A and B are shown apart, each in its own frame.
Chain A
């Protein structure tokens, strides 16, 4: 895709800007769809119907109606809040989540940026989200927001370690950080997917998935959002469009971690049938489908499980996930060395 655009426009900077905005074409409609989908899934799991009226068929335009409402809301900034930080925080959170899309290959033909340390870059840039959360909590000038933001920061930071270790296991098998190459190495059908190639990569996937739930503040790790305990956490003081941006970045983050799981463990844009049904557009279809499947699992977990208490959350992160992740890394290394 990049070559095509360069030959068309002859201006490299313009080409790069366009390439950077391409995932936005997916992320924003996806966020609108995902909110509706979550409401529908939660409704059907709870034996009820969910949105049914807005727009006619099963309330498909409910989220659009909600966004229109949020845009019209009065922009309230607390008087004693740190105005600049307050206004900047949602955008920092969104940038942190969105920047990870640069290195994720959506299809064989499109990857935002072909860097050979793709995975390393993703883990690093998604830590920017923590800064945004702390900014949001601090700038609100509200005890409970700060409380919630600090808890959230502690949670995200603690769970980055199991994420990194689980991804390290994949890197050991693949031999490269470049996501594009990792994807290409999984071509050839379902049995070539990494999760089936190495028995230690199955626990690695489970560890990665659970830790990524904590990274995105989803149940059972949604202490920062738990209304029944601390009013609203870091986004208490945010209303209207700013709140919408925070929400959008949460769903963007969710899709980012789902797509990383799909890319690294389940073959990304490769087709499960090998040569059949493959190609640049089919690749896009498989990639988005696998991402959506993991989003579904995340939503499924949200509506099934209760919430962990803060200290139990830390216990799970440090004392369960990290030891198991170490064992996995050792196991993968052993397997690669001995069996190849």
Chain B
């Protein structure tokens, strides 16, 4: 019997205590902001959309290998010695053309594993987080600055250079062969050596 009355009393008291809490909160200012009119400032380390500064990219493929979801696709073409691709901002000499540098930002998991291995720090995570698209294809970002025609040119130049190098090597080998005496004939195989 006593428990019955105690329960009723506790019921009323705890309800009133709860009401006091919500009453107090009625007068505290709201903690929400009115996005998109007001936007919060993100800290400097914020990891959002990826950005690649192609001028600094040396095509080393470290970021593509580090990505756990394989969202970076890189194709490179070796440059020939007669072309000077310039230096990156940290002073490394660029030796590769990068005609294809695609990042599928829809696959990206924003882990930043691609940022750490880059030797020239050209791939970064920016603070841009409003990049929704209506078409999924638009989420594949093409960072490469070479046009298809330029890529073809570079490939052609590389093929020509390789052919030239191969021809030179063949000529050098032939010249070396002409100077050396005729090789001794190979000894005939021993008919008895059968085990």
Contacts and interface: CB of A to CB of B under 8 A. Distances in A.
A45 B26 contact: yes
Interface stretch (A86-94, A138-146, A163-171, A297-305): A297-305
Using C-beta atoms within 8 Å of the partner chain, give the interface range for chain B.
10 to 19
A47 B18 contact: no
B31 A301 contact: no
Given A305-B15, A320-B8, A300 B31 contact: no
Given A300-B22, A303-B22, A304-B21, A49 B30 contact: yes
Contacts of B30: 43-44, 47-49
A305 B14 CA distance: 10
Interface string B1-30: 000000010000001001101110110111
Given A48-B31, A49-B32, A52-B34, A305 B26 contact: no
A133 B30 CA distance: 38
A10 interface: no
Contact of A300 (B23, B28, B32, B34): B23
8 closest A-B pairs by CB: A48-B32, A45-B22, A304-B18, A304-B22, A49-B30, A47-B31, A48-B30, A44-B26
A304 B21 CA distance: 8
Contacts, number: 36
Contacts of A303: 22
Chain B's interface: helix, strand, loop or mixed, by majority? helix
Nearest to B31: A47
A95 to B, nearest CB: 33
Contacts of A48: 30-32
Nearest to A323: B4
Given A304-B15, A305-B15, A47 B22 contact: no
A303 B21 CA distance: 11
A41 interface: yes
Interface in B61-96: none
A41 B8 CA distance: 28
Interface string A35-55: 000000101111111001000
B19 A300 contact: yes
Interface string A10-51: 000000000000000000000000000000010111111100
A49 to B, nearest CB: 5
A48 B19 CA distance: 18
A47 B28 contact: yes
Nearest to A45: B22
A46 B27 CA distance: 10
A41 B18 contact: no
